Amino acid sequence: MARTTTTRRGLLSGLANGLMTLPAAVVYTGLTVVPVGYAVYYSFTQYNGIPSQAPTWVGWENYARIIADPIGDLRPAAWVTLVIAVVGAFLVNGAALGIAMLLRRTTAFNTFARAVMFYPHVLSALIVGFLWQAILGPQGAVNNLLENAGQSTLPFLADPDWALVTLVGVIVWAQFGVQLVLYLAGLQAVSPELQEAARLDGANGPQVFRHVTWPALAPTVTVTIVTSILSLLKVYDVVLGLTNGGPGDATQTWAYEILAVSFANNKVGLACAQAVLLVVVAGILSFTIIALRRRAEEGAEAVG
Amino acid sequence: MSTTFLRRARGAVVLGMTPVLALAACGSEGGSGDAAGDGSIRMLVNITDNLTQAKWEELVKPFEDESGIDVKIEGPSGQSVAESFPSLLAAGTAPDVIESIVPGPDTAPEVLDLTEYDWASGTPMADLYSTDGTINVVGVGMQAQSLMYYNADLFAEAGITEPPTTWDELDDALAALAAKDVATPIAFASDWATGVQVQEIWHPQQNVTTPGWQQSVADGSSTLGDQFQPVFEHVTDWIDAGYTTADDVATDSGTQEANFIAGDVGIYPMGSWFSTTLAASPPDFEVGVFAPPVDDAADAPGPMGATLAFPYMVWKGTANPDGATALVEYLTTDEAAIAAQAEMDSFSREGLEPSSNEYAGMVQELSDAAPSYVVPGNQTVGDYALPVAGFNPKFTELVQGLWQGRSPADVAGDLTAWYEAEKLG
Amino acid sequence: MTRTTPIRTAFRVGLVAVLSIAMLVPMYIMVVNAFKPQQEILLSPLGFDLATLTTDHIAAAWQNTSFPVVEGYAVTLFLVLACNVVAIGASVPAAYTIARTPTPLFRFLLFFFVAGMFVPAQIILVPAIFVLKALGLMGTLPGLVLFMSSTMIPFTLFIFSGYIRMLPRSLDEAASIDGAGRQRILWTIVFPLMRPIVATAFILNALSAWNDFVSPQLILGPGSQFRTITTGVYAAVSTYTTNYEIVFPTLLLAVVPILLIFVLMQRHIMGGLSAGAVKG
């Protein structure tokens, strides 16, 4: 008797628990999980997305098309995205950490400077793209200054290699502010006593950074690298504003291929296969980084 | 026990779901997908400097007054109608009438067959734009695409007395302009414009060499690369000579038009709509227009690349097919409506008074002199369809490679490879 | 720290000042050029001539029907608030239950939600359109709010559950013995303690809702009367990217209010972010 009550009680409270999670589960499942399921299904079909026309099952054809890349349009996009993710993450974190070291003490001047470093993040990426387009375009502010000074203009957006470098630069300009805040928070957690002790032992600035500050920042570094790579893998808005993928296909990212090329040309099957691959790559990259960083973080606990 | 449980459960669900329910409740009012339920018609149109929202509303006003049907003008929220339409179809929220694009391989089954309407077969270019005799898009007139606008003052300074008619003469003219330090002897522009411009300067000779080239490509007797490699070679020569630079294909067409009007450009290849822009801000030099060159002077002028002006389609899923077709009939056959559209963007049509716009007049003369009209590659439609989607964006992307030092043969090869990989069925 | 010399401090301040100026130059260019005619923008992009400064272009941008500034702001603010209400409102009870129920089922549930953090929102938009269409919410604000909220839930729930786990269990156990119901414990005892982490989530979600372009662009579509700031700017600027008489004034109108909000709320925004970083 007592036992059944307990079971019933457990069951009921389990149900009550389930209901507490229901709203979140419904919204998340309905509009994230189900679409991912749809994406996986459509990725195995040829489908133009028009409701009155049915998808045809084509097996792995879309994936084969992406991997074989018969017309060489997707590999450049993968390359561009990789450059943005790797170089961009490196620069974003380098800039953020470097400036965080400069601004770690809370003074009125530093508070002002922190806000100045952060502000591009409250402008949307699309607006950032348009703004820099107007500054660096062939007839933009910088080139007009050069021309008026009798210099030759610079192909910031007109040359494929320059355009990619410009794009990465603009992304770094707009994004490092968030990582800066995270690093500043991480630096607050570094024990001042430990740094002081290291100094008393005769360590100089760089040595203190290398042996005390850097290991203690390890968990922050993991978070900032993973978040910046995740956001850099899906760069789209800023491309739209800055170069619209050009010149040629020099700045077409993977997300641009999905939204502005495949989907815009009614190739929903291919677009979904590309999206599925991106999700898989993002997941693999994130977990690899987290796994690789685990050792560094264990070191952090030892130091902290 | 169970009452407590029920109460708690209800509490949990109600609290958590409140925002969701509240949203769902106001969902029905905010919707726009079912706008046709009240008998109104949604029309998706191209909005530009010349074709403003206000002008569109004015254009359909008499129809609204006459029929009592409310017409809602919608501009594409993206860059073009062509970009918005697929997502609208996918979302099931397509507008009833679509202006500015023609049916493609994917969209053709989604638009209404207008063949049975007598008025439809009488519209301009209905034969060129039909598929096996089926009319699914109608327009109000013909717009010439193969046009080279030139700065006559710069031509005179450079000692060019007659506009060129052959490719050799065009090369000589560009050399003369460059020798006179003209900033941009021939101007190309970024995004869609690069592709359209390179195609339009090539239409006459291309159609002399291979009449109906789209069909030759479709049946495999020619390839896209072979069709366009000669023009790629011409463009590459110009790039090597510095007549056009990589900056051009990173500068949008609006700015290049302003550069032309400012007198910095010798020749600007662009469609007839540029004559409306010129009339709106007439430059202080004399402007001329000539047809793109051919190889042999005996063939000049060659066939004119031409598009349907104000193409209209009706969505098959429309809730109000009668109203939508009546609106299209009004727009393409009513004299006042045709005249109003000619004011918005010049085109030619039999029986239509020539425009008072002098630039449009010059365009008209060239169109009249052309031996025939041909459908350009970027508006593949009907019997002259390339069986492939997204031709102009891909063509533009590849052709911009010429400015980055890629060889004409490579670009032509990639174009063929793309077609082979993407062609349908 | 004790050993910082005046020279090093001066160097540091100088470096920070130079970097700050570099960050602000684009803003300066935008503001100055918003009041100049095209010819002058081209001739002297950095300078300005008091005699030819004009507000004509700002006025034109204000009246541009593609980008109704006030409505754009209203719609975007609504999105920020509504998405936060849905995402936070749904995440709090779920995170509480998951954090307080250490069974494998709920651990799996947490994993299920967290996996969503690796799904880039704009990438699943295409299939999400089909779901919204089936629900009849395509082209509507509620559909947009639900979609954007669903992409916010994984992260919100993740940091909430981590935070709740750090709150002493004895608090809610004591309340439970006093006979308080689960909902009451959650909203009257636990939720107030979550204030810092809720602020962090609110700010992060607000920034992502504010800056989102692709979701409103595709979900609302041309048929909707609603424009957000980003879709409005895109409609007004994308075909005229080098007509600077349009670009600069439009961008200025789009960014001034948010920058004002940022300047006023700067301490809370950046403080909220770092609070989350330390605790989460």
Q: Quote the CA–CA distance of A232 and A14 in Å, as a whole number.
A: 40
Contact (CB<8Å) A23/C90: yes
pLDDT of B37 over the 70 cut: no
Alpha carbon A154 to chain centroid, angstroms? 29
Instruction: Quote the pLDDT of residue B313.
Output: 93
Q: Does residue B154 sit in the same domain as residue B127? A: no
> Is there a contact between A220 and A133 (Cβ–Cβ < 8 Å)?
no
pLDDT per residue, tens digit, chain A (304 aa), is 444 455 666 666 767 777 888 999 999 999 999 999 999 999 999 988 887 788 999 999 999 989 988 777 889 999 999 999 999 999 999 999 999 999 988 888 888 999 999 999 888 899 999 999 889 988 888 888 888 888 888 889 888 899 999 999 999 999 998 899 889 988 887 878 888 888 888 888 788 888 888 888 888 888 889 889 988 998 999 999 898 887 888 899 999 999 888 888 888 899 999 999 998 998 899 889 888 888 777 766 555 4
Chains touching chain B, criterion 3+ CB pairs below 8 Å: A, C
Q: Quote the CA–CA distance of C242 and A137 in Å, as a whole number.
A: 8
Domain count along chain A: 1
**Closest-approach residue (CA) in chain C for B31:** C140
Which residue in A16, A137, A266 is closest to B106 by CB distance? A266
Where residue B390 falls (left for φ over 0; alpha for ψ -120 to 50; beta otherwise) is: left
Instruction: Quote the pLDDT of residue B314.
Output: 94
Q: Quote the CA–CA distance of C193 and C160 in Å, as a whole number.
A: 11
Q: Does residue B131 sit in the same domain as residue B223? A: no
Instruction: Please report, for the domain that includes residue B120, its CATH number.
Output: 3.40.190.10
pLDDT of B195 over the 70 cut: yes
pLDDT of B384 over the 60 cut: yes
Instruction: Express each pLDDT in C183-212 by its tens digit.
Output: 888 888 889 989 888 988 998 899 889 889
Q: Does residue B99 sit in the same domain as residue B234? A: no
Element (H, E) at B306: strand B304-309
Instruction: Quote the pLDDT of residue C4.
Output: 60
Q: Which structural domain, as residue segments, surrounds residue B255?
A: 145-305+365-422
Domain count along chain B: 2
Instruction: Please report, for the domain that includes residue C131, its CATH number.
Output: 1.10.3720.10
* Residues on chain A touching C251 (C-beta within 8 angstroms): 127, 130-131, 134
pLDDT of C84 over the 90 cut: yes
Percentage, residues of chain C above pLDDT 70? 95
Q: Does residue B149 sit in the same domain as residue B124? A: no
Instruction: Quote the pLDDT of residue B30.
Output: 37
Which residue in B89, B109, B404 is closest to A248 by CB distance? B404
Find the range with the poorest average confidence among B228-237, B348-357, C83-92, C139-148: B348-357
Please give the average per-residue pLDDT across C10-18, as a whole number. 89
Instruction: Please report, for the domain that includes residue A270, its CATH number.
Output: 1.10.3720.10
Q: Does residue B153 sit in the same domain as residue B262? A: yes
Distance spanning both ends of chain B, measured CA to CA? 66
Instruction: Quote the pLDDT of residue B3.
Output: 46
> Is there a contact between A77 and A256 (Cβ–Cβ < 8 Å)?
yes
Find the range with the poorest average confidence among A58-67, B379-388, C52-61: B379-388
Instruction: Quote the pLDDT of residue A94.
Output: 94
Residue A204 lies in a domain: yes
Instruction: Express each pLDDT in B123-149 by its tens digit.
Output: 888 877 887 788 889 999 888 889 999
Per the model's pLDDT, the better-predicted residue between C100 and B244 turns out to be: B244
Residue ranges of A 78-107 with Cβ closer than 8 A to chain C: 99, 102-103, 105
Which residue in B19, B74, B76 is closest to C89 by CB distance? B19
- Sequence-distant (6+) residues with CB within 8 A of A157 are A133, A136, A137, A138, A163, A166, A242, A243, A246, A247, B250
Q: What are phi and psi of B98, to 5 degrees?
A: -120, 125
Number of cross-chain residue pairs from A and C with Cβ atoms under 8 Å apart: 264
- Which string of b and e fits A121-155 if b means at least 16 CB within 10 Å? bbbbbbbbbbbbbbbbbbbbbbbbeeeeeeeebeb
Q: Quote the CA–CA distance of B41 and B330 in Å, as a whole number.
A: 14
Q: Does residue B168 sit in the same domain as residue B216? A: yes
- Nearest-neighbour CA in chain B from A152: distance (Å): 12
Please give the average per-residue pLDDT across C210-225, as a whole number. 84
Residue ranges of A 224-283 with Cβ closer than 8 A to chain C: 230, 233-234, 236-237, 240-241, 255, 258-259, 263, 268, 271-272, 275, 278-279, 282-283
* Residues on chain A touching C210 (C-beta within 8 angstroms): 122, 124
Instruction: Express each pLDDT in C27-42 by its tens digit.
Output: 999 999 899 888 788 7
Instruction: Quote the pLDDT of residue B33.
Output: 40
Element (H, E) at B288: strand B287-290
- Nearest-neighbour CA in chain A from C58: distance (Å): 16
Residue A7 lies in a domain: no
Instruction: Quote the pLDDT of residue B23.
Output: 47
Please give the average per-residue pLDDT across C117-136, as a whole number. 84
Q: Which structural domain, as residue segments, surrounds residue A288?
A: 73-303
Residue matched to tokens 């046009």: B147
pLDDT of C224 over the 90 cut: no
Residue B3 lies in a domain: no
* Residues on chain B touching C229 (C-beta within 8 angstroms): none
Residue matched to tokens 């770690």: A104
Q: Does residue B335 sit in the same domain as residue B384? A: no
Percentage, residues of chain B above pLDDT 70? 88
Q: Quote the CA–CA distance of A100 and A177 in Å, as a whole number.
A: 10
Confidence of residue C143 (pLDDT cuts 50, 70, 90): very high
